Structure 1
């Protein structure tokens, strides 16, 4: 039913109820009716009020029956409020979901754009790979052709190798024959060299630069200097005679004047000096030895019991290797001693020696241990810069 007809019905019904109320009121007034013991005047007023109430009740009843909205407004307002509140919360939730959906949509859109971009890149890469594939196929064809060519060349080379092998076999036989001839010639050359060397050195009793004598001088003055120098010269002559140098007519020793003056000058010092007497040239038997002097301060280099070197040697190695290690140790000791100030022999460039018995005895002891040991190189006695250095091994 439309609202217009509803209003007309309400107006008509209200007018009818008002008329009925007025009619009842007038009748009650004429007949002097009384309600609840009230005066008729008040009774008619109550009837008018009740009539108005009936009009309102009737209107509400009619509206409630006819209009669902009125019923809801009158009796379902709290429920409606709850529904509105629930709907508002639902709307907020949906708005939040909508915002998240929009955000996801943007992310998906970005991902889609990136995927499209990656797709384009992959397409480009695929295109490049296709081009490279075509290129590789062409190269493969070329290599296949090259392989066939090389195969033919290889067959050709195999035939050549066979021919060369036969020639090599022939040349090997010729080489063996030449090796035999070479060995024979080398043996003959060695024999000739040894013969020439023996001819060159035969009769030499003092070699050029050979150390003849170490002599210690102490500061002298006046006639004592001459006496000390003559004593040294007498000692050199004695050694020269024993070795077969010179004779009564030629003399036994010849000292250049400059060397003699140098010796006398050095003897004037108050410090102890070491005089090393050397042969100036190769001296043959019967010739006087020509000498020159090297003069150094005389000083102590090593004390008895001093350790020169510590070295680890593996006793699990072969005896030959152990002996090689010991020779390396001796070589290192020789260098260390020279650096400390011991003067070496000018011909052998060594500063001392160790007995063969001790050398091989030490090698066997290390081998018996069969493991790594620490080798000590110890000074046997006080050693001055004149040498020689005497050492011993300790494990």
Structure 2
């Protein structure tokens, strides 16, 4: 609307100026009774008026062409604009056709999935029926064997029946094995149809980085884009496409903006984590989520994380596992970020854990167990743990402590 108003104002000003100048010029020509090309003064005045009108139109169009892109487009670029519109319409039609084909393929896959499920249900019923028949055959065989003890005179007939029953059982077992094999193949086909090859599970940590505080919006945006690009390269490596530079990881724009704002507002270093928003399947876009946490100092090397008094003896394995769960809970309460997939906050060497379980299992009475931080630990983790085990004297018992 502002462009149209601007054009009207220019037309009014230019028309008024040139009309005024033409009027003045015509007046002078009339008063002086000037003559052009040997014409009479009256005809000369008419020619001046016509030329003035032409100047009004030409100047108006010239000024509008110089000041307005829209006017230049209307005068000189209309053919190109019409060609661009035709090309865009053709592209839209092609995309609509591709979308229709994709929807048709999806419907076909749904139909195939339904047929596979129906086949599996039919096979399951056949398997169940065959199992019942096999059980009945076994019962009949057992009854026949019991009758064999009491009916020596009918030995040949009973032997024939047993042979027939054994053949029936073998045939049924072969049939059941064949049906189970078919069921397994169909289930594998459905799993592949539904899920494909899962590269990463939902909530699995894909990438992690620590970002310093005090960044402006531009630097924070670069930090977020860098970790997303690193995640994209990780997924491409798993697909064997690291040299092709494709974009396969996508993060919701609102999630990205929130993460950037948290980094800009942060007073301490922040931990950036990228996790899978759902199962990441080969051949499909990888949807990811960005999480931002404060990077705090949690434990220094040698700090006591958790201690407890437990019972030694044969139940050492279950007791130690319960102890480690409590260590995990205390670490989470202190601010250590747990693994997004397992929920664990730390690690302990397997050999050390098995050694501790064996030692506790050989001790009688109460045992004091301490979990010690093996190295400085920040919120991003993980917490490296070492265990300290001492036998509690029988004269006193230590209580649980943090």
What TM-score, normalized to structure 2?
A: 0.46
What TM-score, normalized to structure 1?
A: 0.47
